[in-house]
Amino acid sequence: MIVLCHPYERSFCRAIAQELDAAMRARTDTGPPDGPGPPVFHDLYAERPDPVLTGAEIARRFSMDEQIQAYTDECMRTDLMCFVHPDWWSGPPALLKGWIERVFRPGVAYDWEGEDFGEKRHVPLFAGKRLAVFVTTDRAADDPPEPIEGFWRALADYCGMKLVRFTICTDLRHSGHRRRREWLREARDWAQGVDDG
């Protein structure tokens, strides 16, 4: 599953997401019949999901929004989630953050077990799933937006996922074609070998 979150159609984030998608689809086309299926690709700014988590949805522990429910079902089925987004104020865009709040909800990504009114035990429900994150930023390599990596590592840990790749493309505004091609090649090479163990 590839989730792109960037509003600009010619963004470098889109180029990365498309590179990942193409490499994974090529593996599907040439791989064994019992291998992983083709990736599901989501462009959140094109799909425009409502990112607002309501009190009613929290109390209900279920989303009545069919689009959110479809995302949830896909996350529960997939074994690898790839997120591609820009660094906006040392975090992901609000749309992606809201998407996570609604999709990675209790009963889906994690839960609490125990008797009513008693002590509860946190249970991660995405154990065995893998997470990959690709971030672009204008900040320099010696001054990366560290909170972003902390956010994704904490999310992976809380839900039981393994963070298998975290890439941050720094100083993007001043990067040339050669450096951008290198980043795309690295993303492609990783995607081509992601299931090789």
More confident residue, 144 or 3: 3
Collapsed DSSP state (helix, strand, coil) of residue 95: helix
Cα dihedral sign for 12, 14, 20, 25?
negative
CA distance 92 to 87: 6
- Give 27's pLDDT tier (boundaries 50, 70, 90): confident
What pLDDT shows up at residue 125? 96
Name the CATH superfamily for 2-193: Flavodoxin domain (3.40.50.360)
The pTM of this model reads 0.92
**Does the pLDDT value for residue 166 go beyond 90?**
yes
Average pLDDT of the chain, as a whole number: 93
